[in-house]
Structure formats: structure tokens, C-alpha cells
Amino acid sequence: MMFGRYNDTFRYESGDILVETERIGGLLTYLRRCEGQTFERLLVSETAEIVINPVEPVNLPKEITDYLLMEFSPMLIEPGVTQTVYLKFPVEVGVFLEAARDIEVLDVFGLGTQKYTLYGPPTSGVIARWYRSAVYTEVPTVEPFREGVMELSIQNASHEWAEVSCAVFDSVDMKIYYNNVVTTTARMKIITPTMAETDFTDAPLRPDMTRSIELYTVRKIPVINRGYLMEWGLS
Amino acid sequence: MTFNVTEVLEIPIGVGSITVESLLYFAVILVVGVAVARVVSTNVRRALMERLPKSERELLVKLVYYGIVLWALVIALPQLKFDLSGLLVAGGIAGLVIGFASQSVVSNLVSGLFLMFEHPIKIGDGINVAGVSGSVEDIRILSTIVKTHDGIFTRIPNEKVFTSNITNYVHNAARRFEYQISVRYEDDADAAIRIIKEVIWTHPFALKSPAPSVFVDNFGDDGVNLTAYIWAPARNWWDVRTSLLWQIKQKLEENGIEMPYPQRTVWFADELKVTTGDTGTKGAEE
């Protein structure tokens, strides 16, 4: 298991991922290899811990947006009905340096490729990280470090049938938990057949999970549980 | 003994014909003027908090404050029997001179304020205005600073910015660019289109939606001309544009599809005879 807290030197290697720190002379060297790409930093620290945990999947190959668009098989939802489904979402791994006074992002990496899309019209829409998932009624098996499980509760609060095949989230209020699987819990409230509110809930999928340090808290972005209003359609 | 307020107010204070009443009016107008000036300047400061740098904001706040106080003073002074008609004439002439002299300054100032409230451009935006292309470095009260793509500092007066056509390349979330790609006539254009779409798909910032469009556009002199329309995030489109084209060329060549070279087929009406020196005719070729 790669996720967790590390003091001084450590080494984790599995498949295409290698993360290690080694002490050469008085300096600590952080090295990461992932799918052929290498990242290396010298660390000058006496007390810092290295924290590795899953983070919001909107940082690779570089950070251009806060939004995540999950596409899934179209669902027709009856008015007034609430349904919980499970989706697979992409995982990115964040490496943090935590000292008593401050915490800093050291590295973000991930397996697989990324794709971005536009939600809404070019004039007023938003760029979002795109990910396609099948719809599951039970927690699916996922490939570690590549995908996580999103529990999505969809409520049709409108008076009409609604067809839904995508959900857009503002990752700034994303809460991620992990143990041997990475999870997040989200809600989608359909207001009209073309409009919905989405947000994340701060709850683990299982009781024995650890809460991730999110990038937005490290970057000191003030957030008031803001959610996202999908006003450009649900499919 | 009775106390008559009216009589007290009409008591002269000993300077000309100024009474207690007119002195009180003068003081009240001045106090109200100062109070109004404070309220207005505080609100101006608050409104411009995130729109202007501190130095320019404070200058503007002071201008507003002292402008209102001066206005109150001009209203109040007649209470002390000051004849402002001379001042008005002098002020009028001075105003005319200053007005003509500062016409462009005021015009730039007002244009700058409009720019700040209308927000057609923001700091960091890639723009083209008044023939200058680059990124906005700063929007000041009188001028806008643009850093051209060559890294040149360019100051454009706000009046010019405001009255010119402004092209903001990053105002929208996404923008489209296009490639013209030619393949030989003997190559399979359908295969070329499929390969180009596959390469576009592999780029993270070549947007999935709006979907890219690749099609046979026309038949050129040397080959079949394909056009590819690709959407990318407005702030990253140049990176996408510069990285994709070479990848497309390499992938096409890996699959045996090549760019056509200019070529011309020449037909001769008669047989072409090749002769060498004095040996006479050696043969004939078409």
C-alpha cells in the first residue's frame, strides 16, 4: 500500500510506480517514476513527514480546471425517485511534505491518460476533466492507484422524467477517503430535466477509511461548500 | 427675562454684515459636505478595492474627497458674504484652459474607469487591441500595459483601448484551430482521417467535446487536402496546436501515408530522340 505517512527514507515499488526517498550525505532525495516519467527533488528537512494519498483528479498533465465531468450510460429517472449508483473515477496521487507549521505539495502523479472536455457552450461553459464509467449498483472492483469508487446519489426532484448521462462536479469541495480502495461520495439533485445541482458529501464509504489531504486545502483556497449547478444539460 | 432665538441669530459677529445665522449656515454646509465626502470616498475605496492598485485607488479617493469638500466650500462661502462672481469668471477661464489641456487625460481616465467596470480584458489575457498583440500586464487608470509576444513592453492609452476593436483570445473557455493536411492521391483518405482522429484523441487538451472534425476538404494539384478542426482550452490552444501537427505527420508516415510532393506529368506530342555527340542517333524514348 503506497498511501500513508512516511518518516525519513522509504521505498515503494509496484508495477509502473516507484516512489522512494534516500539519504545521500545530509540531504534527502525524493524520487518518483511512473509510466516512464521521472521526478526528483532534494529535500532539506529535519522533521517533515511525507504524506502520500489520493487527490482531486484535475491536476494532470497540468492544472487547467477544477471541474470533473463523469460520463456514464444514459439513465431515465422517474420524478421524485432517488437512486444510488457507483461509478469509477480517475485517481491522482498527491505527495505532500508536512511540517509542524506548514504543508506543501511535492508531487502529483497518476497512471493512465487524461482527457478534457467542454461542458456548456464555448462562450460560457467550463473546461472539465472527462472520465467515462459504467454504472454499477454495487461497489465495483477497481484497479488500485488508477481508479476509485464514487458513490453517487441521484435525486430527481423535478416533476418530469429526466435523462442523465453525465455529472459535472467542482472538485474544490471533493472529499476523498482511502484504505485499500479510494472512494468519494457525491450527490446530484435534478431540478429540471436540463438542470441539476451536484456536490460532494464528507462521508467515507466504509467506516475504517482515512480522509485524504486535499490539494485545495494545501493551496489554502478558501472554500464554502459550494457545489456546482449544471445548467447546460444532463446528457 | 425672555430668550429670543431669532434675535440671537441676527446678531452681527463684527466682521462686515455677517451674522451668527450665516456663520451657522456656513458651518453646517461645510460639516455636511465633509460628511458626504467621507461617505462617498469610503464607498469609492470599497468599490475599487479589487479593481485598482492601492496607489491609484488612494489618489482617486482623495480626488473625490477633496472635490466634494471644495464643492461644499463653494456653496457655503456666500453665507460669509464672499462674492464668488469674480472667482467664477476666473475659474471659468482657468477651467476652460485646464479643460483643453487635460482633455486627453480626462478621456483616458474615464475610458480606464469604463474598462475596469466593463471588464472586456483582464490581467493575463491574450489580446489584440489597436494593432498590438500580446498579454495584458496591467490595467491602470490612464493606460493599459501589454507585453507583446516578443516580450516588448507596450503602453496603450485607455482611450485607444476603449475605442478600438478588442480581440480577447482567452475570454471564452475554448477555441478552435485548424490544420490543413495533404495526402497523396494513391493514399487512403479514410484511413488518414481515422489516424488523424486517433492522434487527436491521445492529446489530453484536444477537447472531447466539441468533437474534432476531420474531412476531405478539396482535391489539390498534388494531393487530397484534408482539414482538421480541433477545439482546445482557450488558454492552452497554442500548446496543443504546436504539439499535434508533427505527431499527426509521424503517425501517417508510420502507416504508409505520406505528404505529396509537387509533381507534374509532361506528355510530348512527338517521339523524344536522344542524341549523343557525333555518334548520331542512339535510340528513341517516349
Enumerate the residues of chain A whose CB falls inside 8 A of the CB of residue B174.
118, 122, 125, 127
CATH class of the structural domain B16-101? mainly alpha
Q: Is the pLDDT of residue B283 over 50?
A: no
Say if the Cβ atoms of B204 and A125 lie within 8 Å. Answer: no
Enumerate the residues of chain A whose CB falls inside 8 A of the CB of residue B233.
64-65, 116, 127
Tell how far CA B48 is from the center of its chain.
19
Nearest to A234 by CA among A202, A190, A170: A190
Find out whether A117 and A188 touch, Cβ atoms under 8 Å. no
Enumerate the residues of chain B whose CB falls inside 8 A of the CB of residue A118.
173-174, 207, 209-210, 231
ipTM score? 0.91
Find out whether B155 and B143 touch, Cβ atoms under 8 Å. yes
Range B217-221 average pLDDT = 93
CATH class of the structural domain B120-168? mainly beta
Say if the Cβ atoms of A125 and B173 lie within 8 Å. Answer: yes
Find out whether A198 and A167 touch, Cβ atoms under 8 Å. yes
Classified as helix, coil or strand, B192 is helix
Q: Give span(s): CATH 2.30.30.60, chain B.
A: 120-168
Say if the Cβ atoms of B233 and A115 lie within 8 Å. Answer: no
- Hey, what's the torsion of the CAs at A104, A110, A115, A120, to 10 degrees? -40
Weakest-pLDDT range from A125-129, A154-158, A207-211, B76-80: B76-80
CATH code for the domain defined by B174-254: 3.30.70.100
Of B11 and B260, the one with more pLDDT: B260
Which of B175, B205, B210 lies closest to A116 in CB terms?
Answer: B205
Enumerate the residues of chain A whose CB falls inside 8 A of the CB of residue B210.
118, 122
**Confidence tier at B285 by pLDDT (50, 70, 90):** very low
Q: Give span(s): CATH 3.30.70.100, chain B.
A: 174-254
Classified as helix, coil or strand, B47 is helix
Say if the Cβ atoms of B209 and A117 lie within 8 Å. Answer: yes
Share of chain A above pLDDT 70, in %: 97
Give the pLDDT confidence score for residue B133 in this predicted structure: 94
Which of B208, B231, B236 lies closest to A64 in CB terms?
Answer: B236
Range B225-246 average pLDDT = 95
Enumerate the residues of chain B whose CB falls inside 8 A of the CB of residue A111.
none
**No. of H helices and E strands in chain A?**
1, 19
Measured CA distances, B52 to A82, B119, B138, B171 (Å): 48, 13, 10, 20
Which residues are bridge partners to B168 per DSSP? B127
Say if the Cβ atoms of B174 and A113 lie within 8 Å. Answer: no
How close A26 comes to chain B (CA, Å)?
A: 40
Say if the Cβ atoms of B209 and A120 lie within 8 Å. Answer: no
Round to whole Å and give the CA distance between A228 and A49.
Answer: 34
For the whole model, what pTM was predicted?
0.78
* A-to-B residue pairs, Cβ atoms closer than 8 angstroms: 48
Give the pLDDT confidence score for residue A223 in this predicted structure: 62
